[in-house]
Structure 1
Amino acid sequence: MIKRRKTRQIHIGPVAIGGGAPISVQSMTNTDTRDIEATVAQIRRLEKAGCELIRVAVPDMEAAVAIRGIRERITIPLIADIHFDSRLAVAAMEHGAQAIRINPGNLGGEDKLARVVDAARQHRVPIRVGVNSGSIEKDLLKKYGYPTPDRPTALIESALRNVALLEKLSFYEIKISIKSSDTLTTISGYRELSEKTDYPLHIGVTEAGGLIAGTVKSSVALGILLFEGIGDTFRISLTRDPEEEIRVGFELLRSLRIRQRGPEMISCPTCGRTRIDLFPLAEAVEKHLQTMETNLKVAVMGCVVNGPGEAREADIGIAGGHGVGIIFKKGEIFKKLPEEELLPVFLDELNKMERERRENRD
């Protein structure tokens, strides 16, 4: 049984972070923030996929001003990602950012940081202190060396030093991240940090890679940390469409039985009996399931001979072969259809089951 580490609680808009609140899944847009239409469109797709917090890059004043137009058209809290320029941090908050991510030590001195903190206090905006292996101060690198699994000290000391800058200004609405691209350094770093502070932690592996490598690295590091009760919010960082990050994130939580959003999908790995193009079929079903919230168990199987029997615990499933396919429920055949009709009819049935379960729940 997972026992969460006790942390303070902050709020980003209506979303609680830490203090026993559900672990939230977030992502970051890869659009040009100044392009309001494109950014809003991507965020809306992420909302449908289940994203609970969204971060946007703020490289200049035009991007900071665009935050207002973006926030007015989305439903999830918006976080501004700022580097170096305190004016952008202040402007982002003035235009509606509900949290900011900064490295307090690289904003240009105490006076500039104080202005950022004053704005955060005025607008009730929490600050994420974000440190990664590439942003550690030179004196800490000289003292502790580059972060490694055996010695992640420089990462931790950099984060705590930056937190202290905020505490000196009597600001405590803080969450912390210390990211490394190395899986084992990430694990050891967060373990040590969680023993030194009770601020909520945003966990993740930075620059994790593409879909396969990034999913594996992130799942190993975050899975271990979450199993140990460490982490209050996270992002799966992939060189991929950010919707994929949300899909991986919720599957990770489901596999640890921490949270469950929407249906669970099981599918066979295919074998020589498969007589249907299963890969695109499974992908289409999986993508559709990301838009659903009802707790269903859904199966996508490669052959009609063994499919229903092997997936008899599924609420609903499909299996196909030789130009035909079947839809089955709890192991019993429900409909037999031509292969080209199988997917649309199956998706319609899924939507019908979700409506029925919602009505029964209400």
Structure 2
Amino acid sequence: HFDYRLALMALDAKVHKLRLNPGNIHNKDGVREVVKRAKEQKTPIRIGVNHGSIGDRQPGDIRDEAQRMVDLALSEIRILEDLDFDDIVVSVKAFEVPVMIAAYRRLAKAVPYPLHLGVTEAGTALAGSIRSAAGMSVLLYEGIGDTIRVSLSEDPVVEVKAGFDLLKSLGLRDQGLTLVACPSCGRADIDLIPLAKVAEERLRALPVPMKVAVMGCEVNGPGEAKDADVGIAGGVGKGAIFRKGKIVGTFPEDKLMDGLLAEIDKILIENGKEPYSQKAPKLSHEGQLTPGRSVPAGQRS
């Protein structure tokens, strides 16, 4: 950002990839110097346009915001191409989802380079994940985009998890836990919300792709989640463990999580994998990760 000399310093430090923002690095000779150095070192460059840094609209400019972003990216691309540099990734991020979608659609038609998708300054965990999904899922479903970032005011680990969850929702990645959980309703015979949260935390480190269901009642649970590899269906003071819609055991409510972990271990062993239950993260009574303690499944708060 702002000073091309910082990019040169980053190259001196042997970064794996460099990002240039054409909205705030205006010294074109400096940009050319950076590109020449990157070419020598075989370092890829991402041309990263952000809507917030493209500058004020000039009098007489009738282009919409998406086109202004695309044109700025294309102008920077030409500088790199003139220097015979083509190890390029491009992004045109905006906070406003319709602007971001329009910009990426146009850019995808204009350049052959990989596109890095993102909604910039998306926000905190919940709102930011929703905004990011609203923008990126449209493009990914259309086959646009090669890499993504879910930008959140959060720990980067949360960003990565949100990104994988987005890709899993679109069928583009199959990794670790996919949790299926019904909304709470009058038919639920167990304290569903805490149980679903406990299951998500205890199973978050699953080493293989697995769809796990947490359903509130035995009447609809196994049927509605019959495509899940394994799951819980609640009952009055007890619950059932099922695999692919077939009930394989029943447990008291406070042993349901143990029963689920045991069934997951069976699945893993049947497929030549190591059991998971002893490695699973444990929870304190406050729902926080802590060594050596666990919350009984379905414990009411």
TM-score bracket for this pair, using the shorter chain length: 0.7 to 0.9
Question: Are 1:234 and 2:139 matched, yes or no?
Answer: no
Deviations 1:157-216 (A, max 9, x none): 111112222223322111110111111111111111111111111111112223333233
Q: 1:144 aligns with which of 49, 53, 61?
A: 61
Q: 1:93 aligns with which of 6, 11, 14?
A: 11
Q: 2:184 aligns with which of 259, 262, 270?
A: 270
Conserved? CA contact 2:32–2:79, under 8 Å = no
Give the 5 Å matches for 1:246-325: 246-325=160-239
Secondary structure at the counterpart of residue 342 of structure 1: helix
Structure 2: distance between partners of 1:115 and 1:352: 59
Conserved? CA contact 2:4–2:27, under 8 Å = no
Secondary structure at the counterpart of residue 248 of structure 2: strand
Amino acid at match of 1:190: Y
**Alpha carbons of 1:329 and 1:115: their partners in 2 closer, same or farther (altered >3 Å)?**
same
Q: Aligned pairs, how many?
A: 274
Stretch deviating more after TM superposition (166-175 or 104-113):
104-113
Structure 1: distance between partners of 2:269 and 2:171: 25
Deviations 1:296-350 (A, max 9, x none): 3311111234322332332210123444333222233333333333224423543
Secondary structure at the counterpart of residue 53 of structure 2: coil
Q: 2:37 aligns with which of 98, 119, 122?
A: 119
The residue that corresponds to 1:182 in the other structure is 96
Structure 1: distance between partners of 2:58 and 2:114: 25
Question: Are 1:129 and 2:40 matched, yes or no?
Answer: no
Structure 2: distance between partners of 1:306 and 1:105: 55
Question: Are 1:339 and 2:253 matched, yes or no?
Answer: yes
Conserved? CA contact 1:300–1:318, under 8 Å = yes
Which blocks of at least 5 consecutive residues in structure 1 are unaligned? 1-82
The residue that corresponds to 2:76 in the other structure is 162
Amino acid at match of 1:171: F
Structure of greater relative contact order (alpha carbons < 8 Å, 6+ residues apart): 1
Q: Aligned Cα RMSD in Å?
A: 2.8
Deviation at 1:105, TM superposition (A): 6.0
Deviation at 1:144, TM superposition (A): 3.3
Structure 1: distance between partners of 2:64 and 2:194: 42
Stretch deviating more after TM superposition (237-246 or 157-166):
237-246
The residue that corresponds to 2:243 in the other structure is 329
Question: Are 1:218 and 2:136 matched, yes or no?
Answer: no
Structure 1: distance between partners of 2:269 and 2:25: 51
Structure 2: distance between partners of 1:289 and 1:96: 38
**Alpha carbons of 1:141 and 1:99: their partners in 2 closer, same or farther (altered >3 Å)?**
farther
TM-score w.r.t. the length of structure 1 is 0.67
Amino acid at match of 1:231: G
Deviations 1:55-105 (A, max 9, x none): xxxxxxxxxxxxxxxxxxxxxxxxxxxx22334323333334211222146
Conserved? CA contact 2:36–2:83, under 8 Å = no
Deviation at 1:111, TM superposition (A): 4.1
Secondary structure at the counterpart of residue 130 of structure 1: strand
Amino acid at match of 2:223: G
Structure 1: distance between partners of 2:204 and 2:98: 30
TM-score w.r.t. the length of structure 2 is 0.78
**Alpha carbons of 1:241 and 1:349: their partners in 2 closer, same or farther (altered >3 Å)?**
farther
Conserved? CA contact 1:304–1:320, under 8 Å = yes
**Alpha carbons of 1:302 and 1:243: their partners in 2 closer, same or farther (altered >3 Å)?**
farther
Which blocks of at least 5 consecutive residues in structure 2 are unaligned? 275-301
Secondary structure at the counterpart of residue 101 of structure 1: strand
**Alpha carbons of 1:277 and 1:116: their partners in 2 closer, same or farther (altered >3 Å)?**
farther
**Alpha carbons of 1:115 and 1:325: their partners in 2 closer, same or farther (altered >3 Å)?**
same
Conserved? CA contact 2:95–2:121, under 8 Å = yes
The residue that corresponds to 2:282 in the other structure is none
Secondary structure at the counterpart of residue 242 of structure 2: strand
Query: Identity over aligned residues, as a percent?
Result: 44
Structure 1: distance between partners of 2:237 and 2:63: 58
Structure having the higher Rg: 2
